[in-house]
A and B are shown apart, each in its own frame.
Chain A
Amino acid sequence: MVKFQGVPHDSAHKHVTGEAIYVDDLPCPPGLLHLQPGLSKRAHAKITKLDLSAVRAAPGVVCVLTAKDIPGTNDVSPTGTNDDPVFAMDEVVYAGQAIFAVAATSLAAARHAATLAIIEYEDLPVILTIPDARAAKADLEPEQLMFMGSTEDALRFAPHVITGNLRVGGQDHFYLESQAAQCIPGEDGDMTLTSSTQHPSEAQHLIAHLLNKKIHDVRLVVRRMGGGFGGKETQAALIAAMTALASYKTGRPARLVLDRDDDMVMTGKRHDFEIDYKVGFDDRGQLSGIFLDLASRCGCSMDLSAAINDRAMFHADNAYFLNNADITSRRFRTNTVSNTAFRGFGGPQGMIAIERVMDAIALHLGKDPLEVRKVNLYNKMGRDFTPYGQRVMDNVAPQIIEDLEARADYAARRKAVRVFNDSHSYVRRGIALTPVKFGISFTTTFLNQAGALVHIYTDGSVHLNHGGTEMGQGLNTKIAQIVAEEFQIDFGKVKITATDTDKVPNTSATAASSGTDLNGMAAQRAAQTIKIRLVDFAARDAVCNAKDVVFENGHVRAGTKDWTFEALVKAAYMARISLSGAGFYATPDIHYDREKHTGTPFYYYAYGAALSEVEVDLLTGESRILRVDIVHDVGKSLNPALDIGQIEGGFVQGAGWLTSEELVFDDQGVLRTHAPSTYKIPACADRPPVFNVTLYEDGENTKDTIHKSKAVGEPPLMLAISVFSAITDAVASVGDYKTLPDLHAPATPEAILRAVTALQEGAKK
């Protein structure tokens, strides 16, 4: 049967032939209008003049949209904060904010016309950076505090206390398919949109509000995205809203596919952070307590920043018992694009903070960083509760680390690195092993629900639909496997269909790694509702007990009877049995009090560990990954090939975040790295040349998840923190492993050379 097999992605064949259809590949409907937004060039300014007459008069232009054309609410904020206008009204709050959009008969015409706008601004004071915002007290929401014990007291008695800081840069999603949507108007003012979105229901709701319609008037369809990574969770709604507004104004179909540069300046990114710590520990490096301050640049609006920064706090322990902790979090408003969800959702920033602390302690004590990490791991002896009060019941970090250490020969290789470094003048190597513990569930509890719909047709073919969206992760493949398993039929008999708000309503975003956990369970239940009817029918027909009805290998056996699946379905239909079923799932056992930052926000944790070895050139600051070994826990894998794909891909994406991917805003707040020519995601040669990925053999979810599997979308990204620690280790050789390098992320050649130079100059003094 298909369960637990590495079935290729359901669309793989279509990917390689070019037949897989993305939004901009749809055949153009008659009268299609192409949109091009006109963007603010200023980070914060009053619009004193907006003259669009030349735009309107340009060839091919059918209409020009501004905020005044919106019949309902000019807002696409995901949490009802009303601070994400589709079009700026009188004031712009970031460079790249949309002010208008042109709808024209061709894309070239729309783009040409958009350049003809005359916009005059009166500049207002700008807040661009975290230090700027801190000075201006520009908080989006009050400072948050998560604490346990008494850190003040703990540090008073700690044998060692050190302080330090770390700056961590943001990251552009760089999904290969830029944001895209198409709207087709229907009768009664209905709007049907095809959108590259992770969150069709939210776009549906926002567009209904935008156009003063009921939610049932708007339909969103998503077959697939060309990558999402969180970047199409909230940001896609803006693009979809513009097409819906164009269709509303003109009665014509409308399409908007963002130019890459526009996409990069218009849409949000991973939050950059500034982290300060003061940590107390004993001679073994075990923490007595920690003050940790996490400050982030949220950009011009709230978006999901509250939950993202909460998740940074939730993961500031990573896999470690902090003993006593005061974790504070500042969320700053700046005149930059509103930062948003990105794989890990704040978790990576919290996690790299504590990993930096581990490296700092090890260098302070002259110990192997892995030894320091190990003495701080959660364990059973009263050291199993998190700063937010959840007990860590499923901890496998120690076993995974032990497994990885042995597989990858940590001790011998660490020695070899030291030997290498003694014999080279300007090339240094570094090595680091870091764990990951990542909490699974939306921390906004109500989002942890999902629905699915399964039909069986009279020929035995199965139609599957659910609320999750496919962005490349193989969600549809896994869920089709689950349904096929339930009916014991071939994977190929289950038809995967586009996510559609008409089929499964009120869905949550495909986010928080939850796609399979939630939708897989809902799909299984949908299948089971039909299966129960089929079992009942078969038992009656065969005059046997329901428990004696067996689905196996495309057959159903009951008593002396044996049907093919198709025959049973046909017979059930003739007996007037319903062959359609809906399923619903809500994650049990989770709750969270956001006021106090306590509770059990996570259903379970996913674990992993990575060992990275790197090389650094002390003359230029260039670095390379030499080898990476990973052991990662996916529970009982639903599809090892897809799971390994998530681990390899997530790791490389994380390595990009921490090395070559640098977002540079100039002092006017204009993003200068807005295309692949200037923003460098990892290329083929940047992947680890030796890359050993192993699924944790004993993995099994202790909770009742779908077939005991674990979520895998986000956790592997944070395995790449080992690369940053390994670079830190390589640079620390310059100071004879006595001083923590002043290295910040991303560790570009420049950042590395600066850290190297500081150590060399420190040595001279």
Chain B
Amino acid sequence: MRDTICFILNGKTVEVQNPDPTLTLLNWLRRERALTGSKEGCAEGDCGACTVVIGDPDATPTWQALNACIAFLPTLDGKTVITVEGVAKDGALHPVQRALVEHHGSQCGFCTPGFVMSLYAHYRNNGAVDEETLNDVLAGNLCRCTGYSPIIRAAKAMYDYPKIDEIALARSAKQDTLALTMTDPLTGTKKKYFAPQSLEELAALYGDYPDATILAGGTDVGLWVTKRHAVLETLIDIGRVASFAKISQDKNGLTIWAGASYAAAHTALGDLHPTLGEMVRRIGSTQIRNAGTIGGNIANGSPIGDMPPPLIALGAELTLRKGETTRRMALEDYFIAYGQQDRRPGEFVESIFVPAMDPATRFAVYKVSKRFDQDISALCGAFFVRLQDGNVTEARLAFGGMAAIPARAKTAEAALIGKTWSEVNIRAAMSALAKDFTPLSDMRASAEYRLQTAQNLLWKFYLGEDAPYLAREVNRG
């Protein structure tokens, strides 16, 4: 056990003894290290002005953009961290920086360091520079001045500039378990932070501290601190449990361990179905998907989490663990009511199993939000049917944003099962949806819109439209 975190910052090893476990990387950089290039634009991981790059030889991709504003400092332990101050070398601008200057990619400049870092990670991963890829790389960086076009022009040109020396990938030597304690000066709360290295260690720790907050990517927990000013007593960071981030596949289906990030699971989920891949692409942004986990999206029980509806529709099962004991349930049964899940004290989400599809099944997932990229769903509809001789033998219609929990539309499903897969029966199922849900009106959409669109999504599914989004190509003049 050690009480000092250690990582490589812009090529130099730094050690911090017993930091406040919920001190964000951004605040530490700006206030403790006077590295003010990384900016705070929102403190909730939405604007990207704070973006830094993490190098991790075990991760795919190796170089990952990260929102420093919601990353707790101890989670960086062992990693290579590069900030905007570490990109240029001896006064020579990095190709990404030169490209942005020469293509007029900055106006007010406040978002620019974040764009530099997102592109820098992409550059170091030798990423492609077609527009669709770049849109995705930069979906988590908001710019209010340029309208993005000059930034894209710069990104397309970044490989055209001469290379400069770059900070090497390194790993700090210290690998034993981290255990931090400190007393919060404002509230007197004694804060603890543990970073177990194995699943057994994690299970044992959580047994000792069943009230602890389990920290994975921190894309939700981070906001508890930066926005709600929550004081978290005990944090158990699962990020160092390598076996917990596994993804495995066999003929029966896909098993995603709870620590696997969206980024890590993206390809496997996309292989299940293209609309699922596109759905994952639209969750958060590159920065968020590098950090956030599928397990966390389920465990936190949000009614608007985007993963539960498609996973429920696919018939996914959840494995919970307490100590050495595991318990398996249908994913939909995990969600009991708003803010309430079937998770017992000391129990944590271990893995999710998604059964394989076969040729007799049809599936699609659709997400509807005010903005295509990096938005939270107004609603999400996921549909799975099994057809035999033109009849529906199995149906799971799962929705997010329609109820206090991610939920199936049982009445609509009943209207389909045993019936022919036909327009008249689909219309009946669409009507039945009104009996399944009484959605809320909020800032994302009204109840009426949610219901009507849920019905229309089912229609779209019937039409067999796998591409839920509008065409992207037009006569390029």
In the complex, what distance in Å separates the CA atom of A314 from the CA atom of B384? 56
Q: Which listed residue, B47, B113, B443, B453, touches A619 by the CB 8 Å rule?
A: B453
Instruction: Give complex CA distance A260, B69 in Å.
Output: 12
The segment out of B135-143, B289-297, B320-328, B329-337 that lies at the interface is B135-143
A380-411 at interface with B (beta carbon < 8 Å)? 408-409
**With A22-B39, A177-B39, A683-B371 known to touch, is A471 a contact of B108 (CB < 8 Å)?**
yes
Confirm or deny: A574 has a beta carbon within 8 angstroms of a beta carbon on chain B. Answer: no
Q: Are A687 and B42 in contact (CB under 8 A)?
A: no
B463 at the binding interface (Cβ < 8 Å): yes
A17 is an interface residue with CB less than 8 A from chain B: yes
Question: How close is A148's CB to chain B, nearest CB, in angstroms?
Answer: 37
**B38–A18 touching, CB < 8 Å:** yes
Chain B, residue nearest A11 (CB): B109
Which of A16, A59, A178, A672 interacts with B106 by CB under 8 Å? Answer: A16
Give the complex CA separation of A680 and B227 in angstroms: 18
Bound-complex Cα distance A685 to B112 (A): 17
| Interface membership of B469, Cβ < 8 A | yes
Knowing A642-B104, A672-B442, say if A18 contacts B368 (CB, 8 Å): no
Chain A residues positioned under 8 Å from B378 (CB to CB): 749-750
A681 touching B470 by the CB < 8 A rule? no
Interchain CB contact (< 8 A) of A176 among B111, B134, B474: B111
A20 to B102, CA, bound (A): 17
CB–CB A651/B370 < 8 A: no
A757 interfacial by beta-carbon distance below 8 Å: yes
Cα–Cα, bound, A684→B46 (Å) = 13
Contact A9 B456 (CB under 8 A): no
B376 pairs with A677, CB closer than 8 A = yes
Q: Is the CB of B108 within 8 A of A622?
A: no
Among A18, A60, A173, A686, the residue within 8 A (CB) of B37 is A18
Which residues of B130-151 are within 8 A (CB) of A? 131, 134-136, 138-139, 141-151
Contacts of A672 in B (CB 8 A): 442-443
CA distance A472 to B459 in the complex (A): 47
Verify B477–A627 contact, CB threshold 8 A: yes
A683 and B374 contacting across the interface, CB-CB below 8 Å: yes
Picked from B37, B46, B49, B477, the residue with its CB within 8 Å of the CB of A629 is B477
Q: Does A165 contact B (CB under 8 A)?
A: no
| A603 on interface, CB distance cutoff 8 Å | no
- Verify A176–B93 contact, CB threshold 8 A: no
Task: Give Cα A757–Cα B451 distance, bound, in whole angstroms.
Answer: 13
Residues of A within 8 A of B83 (CB): 18
Q: Say whether B186 contacts A112, CB under 8 Å.
A: yes
- Measured CA separation A27–B34 after assembly (Å): 8
A413 near B475 (CB under 8 angstroms)?
A: yes
Report B305 CB to chain A, min CB distance, Å: 14
**Shortest CB distance B3–A (Å):** 22
Stretch of A154-162, A224-232, A443-451 contacting B (4+ beta carbons < 8 Å): A224-232
Task: Find residues 173-227 in chain B having any chain A CB closer than 8 Å to their own CB.
Answer: 185-187, 227
How far does the Cβ of B180 sit from chain A's closest Cβ, in whole Å? 18
Given known pairs A175-B108, A260-B42, A472-B107, the reply for A673 and B470 (CB within 8 Å) is: no
Q: Please report the C-alpha to C-alpha distance between residue A115 and residue B444 in the assembled complex, in whole angstroms.
A: 28
Within the complex, the shortest CB–CB distance from A685 to chain B, in Å, comes to: 4
B330-387: which have CB < 8 Å to A? 366, 368-376, 378
B366 contacts across to A, CB distance below 8 A: 620
Taken residue by residue from 414 to 433, chain A's Cβ proximity to chain B (1 for < 8 Å, 0 otherwise) reads as 00100000000111000000
Q: Is B474 a contact of A18 with CB atoms below 8 Å?
A: no
Whether A648 contacts B150 in the complex (CB less than 8 A), given A17-B84, A680-B375, comes out as yes
Q: Specify which of A257, A622, A644 is in contact with B469 (CB 8 Å cutoff).
A: A622
Cβ–Cβ < 8 Å partners of A622 in chain B: 368, 372, 469-470
Mark interface residues in A217-258 (1 if CB within 8 Å of B CB, else 0): 000000011111100000000000000000000000000010
Q: Is A689 an interface residue (CB 8 A)?
A: yes
Q: Return the contact of A12 from the options B106, B147, B453 (Cβ within 8 A).
A: B106
Bound complex: CA A260 to CA B44 (Å): 9
* In the assembled complex, B28 has its CB within 8 A of some CB on chain A: no
Q: A24 and B475: CB pair below 8 A? A: no
Contact A681 B475 (CB under 8 A): no
Candidates A11, A260, A619, A627; contact of B41 at CB < 8 Å: A260
Q: In the complex, what residues of B have CB within 8 A of residue A19's CB?
A: 37
- Complex Cα distance, B147 from A227, in Å, reads 13
Of the candidates A16, A613, A617, A681, which one forms a contact with B101 in the assembled complex, judged by CB atoms under 8 Å apart? Answer: A16
CB distance from B444 to the nearest CB of A (A): 7
Contact partners of A641 in chain B: CB under 8 A: 104
Contacts of A753 in B (CB 8 A): 449, 452-453
- A673: which B residues are within 8 A, CB to CB? 443
Residues in B89-146 with C-beta less than 8 Å from chain A: 93, 96-97, 100-102, 104-113, 116, 131, 134-136, 138-139, 141-146
B131 touches A689 (CB 8 A): yes
Residue of B nearest to A259 (CB): B43
Would you call B452 and A623 a contact (CB within 8 A)? no
CA distance A262 to B167 in the complex (A): 38
Docked Cα-Cα span, A617 to B368, in Å, equals: 11
Residues of B within 8 A of A409 (CB): 477
Whether B85 sits at the interface, judged by CB under 8 Å, is: yes
Flag if A651 contacts B456 (CB, 8 Å). no
Q: Does the CB pair A617–B36 fall under 8 Å?
A: no
Q: Taking the nearest CB of chain B, how far is it from the CB of A78, in angstroms?
A: 22
Q: What interface size band does chain A fall in?
A: 35 or more
CB of A676 within 8 Å of the partner chain? yes
Q: By the criterion CB–CB under 8 Å, are A472 and B142 in contact?
A: no
B445 at the interface (CB under 8 A from A): yes
Query: Chain B: which residue is nearest A21 at the CB level?
Result: B36
Taking CB atoms and an 8 Å cut-off, the chain B residues in 449-477 that contact chain A are 449, 452-453, 456-457, 459-460, 463, 469-472, 474-477
Which chain A residues lie closer than 8 Å to B469 at the CB level?
622, 624
Q: Does A664 contact B (CB under 8 A)?
A: yes
Q: Which of B41, B93, B369 contacts A177 (CB 8 A)?
A: B41
- Measured between C-beta atoms, what is the minimum distance from A64 to chain B in Å? 16
B147-164 with Cβ < 8 A to chain A: 147-152
Complex alpha-carbon distance, A648 and B152, angstroms: 12
**A8 in the interface, Cβ–Cβ < 8 Å?**
yes
Q: How far is the CB of B151 from chain A (nearest CB, A)?
A: 8
Q: Are A662 and B107 in contact (CB under 8 A)?
A: no
Tell me the minimal C-beta distance from A154 to chain B in angstroms.
40
B contact residues around A686 at 8 Å (CB): 371-373
Does B268 sit within 8 A of A, measured CB to CB? no
Q: How far, in whole Å, are A748 and B97 apart by their CA atoms in the complex? A: 35
Smallest CB–CB gap between B25 and chain A, Å?
A: 15
CB of B40 within 8 Å of the partner chain:
yes
Q: How far is the CA of A175 from the CA of B144 in the complex (A)?
A: 6
B87 CB-CB contact with A under 8 Å: yes
**Cβ–Cβ < 8 Å partners of B143 in chain A:** 176, 684
Q: Does A372 contact B (CB under 8 A)?
A: no
A735 within 8 Å of B (CB atoms): no
State whether the Cβ of B229 lies closer than 8 Å to any Cβ in chain A: yes
B170 sits at the interface (CB 8 A): no
Least CB distance, A178 to chain B, in whole angstroms: 8
Residues of B within 8 A of A (CB): 30, 34-44, 46-47, 49, 83-85, 87-88, 93, 96-97, 100-102, 104-113, 116, 131, 134-136, 138-139, 141-152, 185-187, 227, 229, 366, 368-376, 378, 442-446, 449, 452-453, 456-457, 459-460, 463, 469-472, 474-477
Q: List 26 A-B contacts (CB under 8 A).
A: A9-B106, A16-B116, A17-B87, A18-B35, A108-B186, A115-B229, A175-B144, A177-B39, A177-B41, A227-B110, A257-B40, A615-B474, A619-B456, A621-B449, A621-B453, A624-B470, A629-B477, A642-B104, A652-B147, A653-B144, A662-B443, A676-B44, A677-B46, A689-B474, A749-B369, A749-B445
A227-B110, A684-B143 known, 18 other contacts, Cβ within 8 Å: A8-B104, A9-B107, A16-B112, A18-B38, A24-B30, A173-B144, A176-B47, A177-B108, A178-B41, A620-B460, A645-B104, A648-B146, A673-B443, A675-B46, A678-B444, A684-B135, A686-B373, A757-B452
Ordered nearest first, which 5 A-B pairs have the shortest CB separation? Answer: A18-B37, A472-B108, A226-B110, A15-B109, A652-B147
